[in-house]
Amino acid sequence: MNTNPPLIIIDSHVHIHDCFDLSTFFESASSNCQDHATTQQHHDPFIGVMLLTESSWDHWFHTLATWADQGKTITNDSNTIWSIHRTEEDFTLLARSTQGMNLLIVAGRQIVTKEKLEVLALLTSQSFQDGISIQEAIQQVKGSGGVPVIPWGFGKWWGARGQILTELLSSPVMRDVFLGDNSGRPSFLPYPSQFSMASEQGIRIFPGSDPLPFVSENGRPCSVGFSVKRELDETRPGADLKKILQDPNTAMTPYFHHEGLFRFIKNQVSMQLVKHQPSTA
């Protein structure tokens, strides 16, 4: 009888972009989870978890929930079929493949605050307004039952914005708030002082992939994240996940890789071009 607790592999910062091919997206997530499980010498079944962090204009979780109701499936070139299923929660979905892989998709949002920082609202189906203060964003996420995370972003933790975050880290508002890291942070930059400060204060740092809106990023989901060995109720997995994330005694095994110099520069230039494209609305 196997008494080992199940392996849960979590990517804490996932975007589904309109340019992505969903069959490739799901297969990549599955393959990346398998790679981590192999590295951990875990040979039993596992479940991959993608915590969505959708921007205000994205509604992929709603789309996937609609497909679950319609029985719509996703098929790739090798005829692997992915089907989407509802749970007993309104903010979690289960994707199953004909190859026996399971991926949990969890609703969440990304809020751009008045200070031009970001707050991720994990494990919630509620929507939020951009442009509110960072403290108000944190309080609203907590009020929704979600988990607030302040993610690293290139240039966003420097200067005046960096000072805002540094001061916030010593504030009582940071209770049950976390920081987020991602592979877009290149190795040639200094380790953010806010991460060191957070660690000293017992504030946990959740790694995530944070895919950018380019076809080349379609393979990113679950390439960065962390794993835990805990039980997860598939009928109400979100409730268990929230307990896992907020439990300071949860043993997390992060897996991470830094962006290379060439790809980092290429992505930064591409992001600037996207931002300055004229609107087609």
7-275: CATH topology is TIM Barrel (3.20.20)
261 to each of 17, 160, 185, 207, 267, how far by Cα in Å? 24, 26, 10, 20, 10
pLDDT given at position 186? 87
Token readout for 107 is 């609703």
Helix (H, G, I), strand (E, B) or coil at 6: coil
Task: Estimate to the nearest angstrom the gap between the alpha carbon of 147 and the chain centroid.
Answer: 12
Name the nearest CA neighbour of 153 among 189, 201, 203, 105.
189
Give the span between the Cα atoms of 145 and 236, in whole angstroms.
14
Give the span between the Cα atoms of 167 and 252, in whole angstroms.
27
Q: What are phi and psi of 82, to 5 degrees?
A: -105, 130
Task: Estimate to the nearest angstrom the gap between the alpha carbon of 182 and the chain centroid.
Answer: 9
pLDDT given at position 281? 34
Give the span between the Cα atoms of 245 and 40, in whole angstroms.
20
Q: 181, 196 in Cβ contact below 8 A?
A: no
Give the span between the Cα atoms of 212 and 133, in whole angstroms.
25
Region at 116 (left for phi over 0; alpha for psi -120 to 50; beta for the rest):
left
Q: 194, 162 in Cβ contact below 8 A?
A: yes
Which range among 76-80, 148-152, 153-157 shows the weakest confidence by mean pLDDT?
76-80
Token readout for 121 is 């609202």
Q: What pTM was computed for the model?
A: 0.92
Task: Estimate to the nearest angstrom the gap between the alpha carbon of 14 and the chain centroid.
Answer: 4
Instruction: Report pLDDT digits (tens) over 85-116.
Output: 999 999 999 999 999 999 999 999 999 999 99
Which range among 73-87, 143-157, 249-263 shows the weakest confidence by mean pLDDT?
249-263
Give residue limits of the domains in the chain: 7-275
Q: 19, 213 in Cβ contact below 8 A?
A: yes
If pLDDT is split at 50, 70 and 90, which confidence band does 279 have? very low
First to last CA, the chain: 59
Sequence letter at residue 252: M
pLDDT given at position 277? 53
258: DSSP letter: P
pLDDT given at position 183? 84
**Mean per-residue pLDDT for 25-47?**
94
Query: What average pLDDT is seen over the chain?
Result: 91
Which range among 80-84, 159-163, 207-211, 256-260 shows the weakest confidence by mean pLDDT?
256-260
Burial class (CB in 10 A: 0-12, 13-18, 19+), 153: middle
pLDDT given at position 264? 65
Token readout for 133 is 């203060």
Runs of H (alpha helix) within the chain: 22-39, 60-70, 134-143, 159-168, 193-200, 237-246, 261-275
Token readout for 158 is 């420097």
